[in-house]
Amino acid sequence: MIRNPRDIQRYNASERANHWIVGICFILLALSGLAFFHPAFFPLTQLFGSPTWARILHPYIGVVMAFFFLIMALRFARLNFIHKQDIEWLKRVGEMVNGDDHNMPEQGKYNGGQKVLFWGLVIGMLLITVSGVLMWRSWVAVPVGVVRAASVVHAGAAVFMIGLIIMHVYAAIWTRGTIRAMLYGTVTRAWAKQHHRVWYRQITGDKR
């Protein structure tokens, strides 16, 4: 595919690398975490060399993810403040899911759904990081009651976030022409105008 020089840059290289560091960590953490959570997934520990290696590596990968997520969240937080048009968008999300986006309010760089996802992940990351540290017996010793509560929070936050990420990945697949934004940075002008018209106008100066 010859890329159109007039394609719009949505993410720069640093943002993309940051996103994929978090993404890779998340996948590794989900695979090893699910293995500890449910016996049906225990064989996934073999992907990490052995069950014991999975247990050893999981928290360190978690530290890497928490660090890079923090940077990513700080980068994107301002763009994800929720405004009135986002609430409008969210009220009409049913139409969108049903395949009709004609009446959807015009959106900036992120739509209401993406913003909800963003803040959901921020809360999830906060809970999972704090509870994870409290469960990390190699380095942290806290009373058993705290560890028990942390274990419940950790599992709950993980399931919540894996659910959000399934939605995140699906939304990217469903909305054609989206994944390239996170792979090599650009989207077509038509994509931007259709899905994020306010942002499209800001970038191109196109008044239509």
Which residues are near other proteins by CB under 8 A?
A: 4, 6, 35-40, 42, 45, 51-52, 54-56, 97-99, 101, 135, 137, 144-145, 147-149, 151-152, 155-156, 159, 162-163, 166-167, 170, 173-177, 188-191, 193-195
HEC profile for 47-115?
HHCCHHHHHHHHHHHHHHHHHHHHHHHHHHCHHHCCCHHHHHHHHCHHHHHCCCCCCCCCCCCCCHHHH
Tell me phi and psi for residue 187, to 5 degrees.
-130, 160
Looking at beta carbons only, is 75 or 148 nearer to other proteins?
A: 148
Provide the minimum distance between the beta carbon of 21 and other proteins in the complex, in angstroms, as a whole number: 24
Provide the minimum distance between the beta carbon of 117 and other proteins in the complex, in angstroms, as a whole number: 13
Give the integer Cα–Cα distance in Å for 51 and 141. 23
Looking at beta carbons only, is 55 or 109 nearer to other proteins?
A: 55
Query: How many CA atoms does the CB half-sphere of 196 hold within 13 Å?
Result: 23
β-strand partners of 187: 8
Provide the minimum distance between the beta carbon of 103 and other proteins in the complex, in angstroms, as a whole number: 14
To which H or E segment does residue 167 belong?
Answer: helix 144-174
Looking at beta carbons only, is 70 or 164 nearer to other proteins?
A: 164
Give the integer Cα–Cα distance in Å for 148 and 72. 30
Looking at beta carbons only, is 85 or 194 nearer to other proteins?
A: 194
Q: Which are the catalytic amino acids?
A: 168
Provide the minimum distance between the beta carbon of 106 and other proteins in the complex, in angstroms, as a whole number: 13
